[in-house]
Amino acid sequence: MSITEEGYYVCDICGDDTGRFNDDTGNHWQCEEVAELRSRINTLEAERRWIPVSERLPENGRLVLCVYHNDMKQPIVGEAFWSPPIHPTAGWAGWTAQDVTHWMPLPSAPEAE
């Protein structure tokens, strides 16, 4: 929380000086909730982003979603696993290493009800 020259409390998150403030932090309750939710969204987006193969490859034998491009340069999403290549152009089960551009981990399976 900040205090203006006029002596008003100001939320450090949104900059507003009206509303109900949290006594512990001095910020608006709703702004703190929004900040927490944004942080959680950023974490989830980082976990579920497409990873370029130029950045890193998945663990050996791990089934992942991957993107490759067909002969017409259209992106196709499929599943594959990476295994150490025997041939320089091999490595992705079903596709050559030049075909696959990005991958991401598969989501967890749903829990049985």
Confidence at residue 3, expressed as pLDDT on a 0 to 100 scale: 64
Per-residue pLDDT of the chain (113 residues; tens, 9 = 90+): 566 666 667 777 777 766 666 666 666 667 778 888 889 999 888 888 899 988 988 887 788 888 887 778 888 888 777 776 554 444 555 555 557 888 898 888 888 87
113 in a domain, yes or no?
Answer: no
| Residues 94 and 56 placed together within one structural domain of the fold | yes
* Domain count for the chain: 2
60 in a domain, yes or no?
Answer: yes
| Residues 55 and 101 placed together within one structural domain of the fold | yes
Residue 33, classed as helix, strand or coil, is: helix
Contact 96, 88 (CB under 8 A): no
All residues at 6 or more sequence positions from 38 whose CB lies less than 8 Å from its CB, including other chains: none
Rounded Cα distance, 68 and 101, in Å: 6
Confidence at residue 54, expressed as pLDDT on a 0 to 100 scale: 87
Beta strand 100-105 with 2-3 is unpaired
Confidence at residue 84, expressed as pLDDT on a 0 to 100 scale: 64
All residues at 6 or more sequence positions from 42 whose CB lies less than 8 Å from its CB, including other chains: none
Confidence at residue 76, expressed as pLDDT on a 0 to 100 scale: 83
111 in a domain, yes or no?
Answer: no
| Residues 56 and 36 placed together within one structural domain of the fold | no
| Residues 77 and 99 placed together within one structural domain of the fold | yes
Domain that holds residue 23: 2-47
Confidence at residue 70, expressed as pLDDT on a 0 to 100 scale: 75
| Residues 37 and 64 placed together within one structural domain of the fold | no
pTM, two decimal places: 0.56
